[in-house]
Amino acid sequence: MQSLTQFLGDNMLSIYLLIFAVFLGFELISKVPSVLHTPLMSGANAISGIVLVGSIIFLRKTDPSETFSLVVGMIAMIMAMINIVGGFAVTNRMLAMFKKKPKQ
């Protein structure tokens, strides 16, 4: 029990940051109507870019001996990159639907 308390005390900032990010992401996505979800994908890519930059800064400032912080930072970085790449793919596909087809 004492080791759990010490762990929570040592990583309190990381835990608050994780809880805040989960809450903010849930609130942001739940407020978007399904009709607007695809057109707002570019905005979500920008937010994921901010998460990616934040995770890089977080990882750079983390002590190499703090395994939990490194794992959380790496998970944030990987999830942000997956979201960015997938978002750009969906946005590109959506924009391709609006291009005029060449006449033959």
Would you place residue 78 in the very low, low, confident or very high pLDDT band (cuts 50, 70, 90)?
Answer: very high
What are the residue ranges spanned by the domains of the chain? 38-97
> What DSSP letter does each residue of the chain carry, written as one string?
-HHHHHHHHHTHHHHHHHHHHHHHHHHHHHTS-GGGTTTTHHHHHHHHHHHHHHHHHHHHHS-TT-HHHHHHHHHHHHHHHHHHHHHHHHHHHHHHHTSPPPP-
pLDDT in tens, 8-61: 888 888 889 889 988 988 887 777 776 676 667 667 777 788 888 988 998 899
